[in-house]
Amino acid sequence: MSAPSRSDVPPTSIGVDLREEGVVVEYLDGRTTLYRGVPESAEGSVTAGPGKETHVLVTDPTETEGVMTYVNDYKTDDEILEESGVGRVIVEDGERDEVFPGVIVGREGQRNEVIADPEVAGGRVFVFVEDGWTEGSYEIVEAPEDGLDAHR
């Protein structure tokens, strides 16, 4: 029996609640997840270490809704993503893809990179990086110094 294929899945708007203890995401199926801690400010980009899951959340201007995409997630079935409202993008080594206006994801070796300009994105840009042992929360607060076009 072969493993199911993994493909890009477009995200749907989901609920967001920014709290003192972290960022709460409410999926379409009613489940919630708390990304713990106040996100660390990052300028221009966030690069995840090898083997780390990378989740990108872009809020709307009200900061009560947003879209979330998993980068290079090979574990979650397409159907589960579609039911939850979470998207997925698969980016090959050396490639980049603009997943939302103002938000570019790329892959170099085993590392995922998220490059963003919150002004172009029209909301706040959060990146959550985790594995079985650690969690990291980041907010990209400024565009890269050389601009987004340098990374397309």
Q: Classify residue 117: in a domain, yes or no.
A: yes
Q: Classify residue 127: in a domain, yes or no.
A: yes
Q: Classify residue 34: in a domain, yes or no.
A: yes
Q: Classify residue 6: in a domain, yes or no.
A: no
Residue 119 has pLDDT above 60, yes or no: yes
* Mean pLDDT of the region 60-83: 95
Q: Classify residue 26: in a domain, yes or no.
A: yes
* Mean pLDDT of the region 53-82: 96
Residue 139 CA, distance from chain mean position:
11
Q: What is the DSSP letter of 17?
A: E
The domain of 28 spans 13-150
What DSSP assignment string belongs to 64-99?
SEEEEEEES--SS-HHHHHHHT-EEE---TT-EEEE
What does the pLDDT read at residue 86?
98
CA 38 – CA 45 distance, rounded (Å): 17
Q: What is the number of structural domains in the chain?
A: 1
Residue 40 has pLDDT above 90, yes or no: yes
What does the pLDDT read at residue 1?
41
Q: Classify residue 123: in a domain, yes or no.
A: yes
What does the pLDDT read at residue 117?
97
CA 140 – CA 118 distance, rounded (Å): 7
Q: How confident is the model at residue 39 (pLDDT cuts 50, 70, 90)?
A: very high
Q: Classify residue 4: in a domain, yes or no.
A: no
What's this model's pTM, rounded to 2 decimal places?
0.94
What does the pLDDT read at residue 2?
44
Q: 5-9, 25-29, 75-79, 125-129 — which is least confidently predicted?
A: 5-9
CA distances to 33, 87, 123, 133 from 84, rounded to whole Å, are 11, 9, 21, 24
What does the pLDDT read at residue 4?
56
What does the pLDDT read at residue 3?
52
Mean pLDDT, the chain, integer: 94
Kindly state the percentage of the chain with pLDDT values over 70.
Answer: 97
Q: Classify residue 103: in a domain, yes or no.
A: yes
